[in-house]
Amino acid sequence: MVKKKTTILNATGLHARPAATLVKLASKFSSKIFLQKDSVEVSAKSIMGVMSLGAEMGSKILIIADGEDEEDALKQMHNLIKSKFGEES
Protein backbone atom coordinates (compact mmCIF):
# COMPACT_ATOMS: atom_id res chain seq x y z
CA MET A 1 0.00 0.00 0.00
CA VAL A 2 1.30 3.45 -0.95
CA LYS A 3 -0.04 6.88 -0.01
CA LYS A 4 0.62 10.43 -1.12
CA LYS A 5 -0.84 13.76 0.02
CA THR A 6 -1.64 16.32 -2.65
CA THR A 7 -3.60 19.52 -3.14
CA ILE A 8 -6.33 20.22 -5.68
CA LEU A 9 -4.85 23.03 -7.80
CA ASN A 10 -7.39 23.70 -10.55
CA ALA A 11 -9.72 26.65 -9.98
CA THR A 12 -12.94 24.64 -10.23
CA GLY A 13 -11.87 21.73 -8.01
CA LEU A 14 -13.17 18.21 -8.58
CA HIS A 15 -16.30 19.15 -10.52
CA ALA A 16 -17.82 16.78 -13.09
CA ARG A 17 -15.19 16.83 -15.86
CA PRO A 18 -12.05 16.50 -13.71
CA ALA A 19 -13.79 13.91 -11.52
CA ALA A 20 -14.67 11.87 -14.61
CA THR A 21 -11.09 12.16 -15.89
CA LEU A 22 -9.76 11.00 -12.54
CA VAL A 23 -12.18 8.04 -12.37
CA LYS A 24 -11.30 7.04 -15.94
CA LEU A 25 -7.60 7.00 -15.08
CA ALA A 26 -8.11 5.13 -11.80
CA SER A 27 -10.20 2.49 -13.57
CA LYS A 28 -7.23 1.55 -15.77
CA PHE A 29 -5.40 0.06 -12.80
CA SER A 30 -6.02 -3.26 -11.09
CA SER A 31 -5.04 -1.77 -7.72
CA LYS A 32 -7.65 -0.51 -5.31
CA ILE A 33 -7.40 3.29 -5.30
CA PHE A 34 -8.99 5.57 -2.74
CA LEU A 35 -9.14 9.30 -2.18
CA GLN A 36 -9.43 10.67 1.33
CA LYS A 37 -10.43 14.21 2.28
CA ASP A 38 -10.76 15.03 5.95
CA SER A 39 -12.23 11.83 7.43
CA VAL A 40 -14.08 10.75 4.26
CA GLU A 41 -12.58 8.01 2.10
CA VAL A 42 -14.05 7.02 -1.28
CA SER A 43 -13.10 4.79 -4.19
CA ALA A 44 -11.31 6.74 -6.90
CA LYS A 45 -13.11 4.46 -9.38
CA SER A 46 -16.53 5.82 -8.38
CA ILE A 47 -17.70 9.09 -9.99
CA MET A 48 -20.32 9.60 -7.29
CA GLY A 49 -17.77 8.93 -4.57
CA VAL A 50 -15.21 11.34 -6.01
CA MET A 51 -17.77 14.10 -6.49
CA SER A 52 -19.17 13.54 -2.98
CA LEU A 53 -15.82 14.68 -1.53
CA GLY A 54 -16.64 18.26 -2.52
CA ALA A 55 -12.94 18.89 -3.13
CA GLU A 56 -12.52 22.53 -4.12
CA MET A 57 -9.36 24.36 -5.12
CA GLY A 58 -6.90 24.17 -2.24
CA SER A 59 -8.42 21.02 -0.74
CA LYS A 60 -5.87 18.59 0.69
CA ILE A 61 -6.47 14.99 -0.32
CA LEU A 62 -4.68 11.72 0.28
CA ILE A 63 -4.31 9.25 -2.60
CA ILE A 64 -4.11 5.63 -1.44
CA ALA A 65 -3.26 2.77 -3.82
CA ASP A 66 -3.04 -0.91 -2.94
CA GLY A 67 -2.25 -3.66 -5.43
CA GLU A 68 0.24 -4.93 -7.98
CA ASP A 69 0.41 -1.66 -9.96
CA GLU A 70 0.07 0.66 -6.94
CA GLU A 71 3.27 2.67 -7.56
CA ASP A 72 2.32 3.50 -11.16
CA ALA A 73 -1.28 4.23 -10.16
CA LEU A 74 -0.19 6.61 -7.41
CA LYS A 75 2.26 8.41 -9.70
CA GLN A 76 -0.23 8.87 -12.53
CA MET A 77 -3.06 9.97 -10.23
CA HIS A 78 -0.78 12.53 -8.56
CA ASN A 79 0.49 13.80 -11.93
CA LEU A 80 -3.08 14.27 -13.20
CA ILE A 81 -4.02 16.35 -10.16
CA LYS A 82 -0.74 18.29 -10.34
CA SER A 83 -1.44 19.08 -14.02
CA LYS A 84 -4.70 20.78 -12.97
CA PHE A 85 -6.51 18.22 -15.14
CA GLY A 86 -5.33 20.10 -18.22
CA GLU A 87 -7.79 22.92 -17.47
CA GLU A 88 -5.22 25.67 -17.03
CA SER A 89 -1.85 26.47 -18.54
Catalytic residue among 4, 15, 32, 84: 15
Q: Report whether 74 contacts 65 (CB < 8 A).
A: yes
Annotation marks residue 15 as catalytic? yes
Positions of E strands within the chain: 2-7, 32-37, 40-43, 60-66
Euclidean distance between the first and final Cα of the chain, in Å?
Answer: 32
Q: Give catalytic residue positions.
A: 15
